[in-house]
Amino acid sequence: MTPYYEQYESNPYLKEFYQDMKSWSFKSQIFFLTQKFKSHLKLIHVQNSVVQDRTIYEDAEIFARNLYRSRLMRKRDFETYYDLYTSLLNTLPSPDLLIYLRCSNRTIRKRIKNRGRSYEQNISPRYLGRLNQLYESWIASYSLSEIAIINTDELDYIHNLVDMVDVRKVIEKYI
């Protein structure tokens, strides 16, 4: 299995987005959508199994939707974005497996703090909670492929080798 990490740092709008979400939400989300589409196309041709850090689905179904519902993205911008997303989606094959790393809002905040990205440190707990709720709703209705749900509140799969191996074993059951 080869990991493919999101290239979040290449988003030229991200710092401004966290400073003023309403002004930068559409531009930032269009950038992420474009990057995810290109990544998805590239990964289709990889011969071995690939684990993608963040999917094209999440950008639209979680992040852009949350911005719209929170009135941080205008209706016409969201509709334009979502129309583009569905058009792109129709050209892509579904993944073989979706891996959902479930965790609580508390764990999300702890991981953001530990990650140490300065522009993320002031994200409101309410904003993160809404994202988590959207993830749960989305995963409950997701039907494009099998889903492996891994509860990660008690896991440190970044630094703890035992946890890494346990997560890998769960994933390997599906591939």
Beta bridge partners of 151: 102
Here the tokens at position 78 are: 């969201």
Catalytic hit among 53, 83, 96, 153: 53
- Residue length, the chain? 175
- Conformation bin of residue 28: beta by default, left when phi > 0, alpha when psi is -120 to 50: alpha
| C-alpha distance from residue 119 to each of 17, 80, 89, 140, 150 (Å) | 9, 27, 30, 31, 28
Here the tokens at position 174 are: 């599906």
Here the tokens at position 142 are: 């997701």
Is 83 known to be catalytic? no
Query: Which strand (E) or helix (H) includes residue 79?
Result: helix 75-89
- Positions marked catalytic: 53
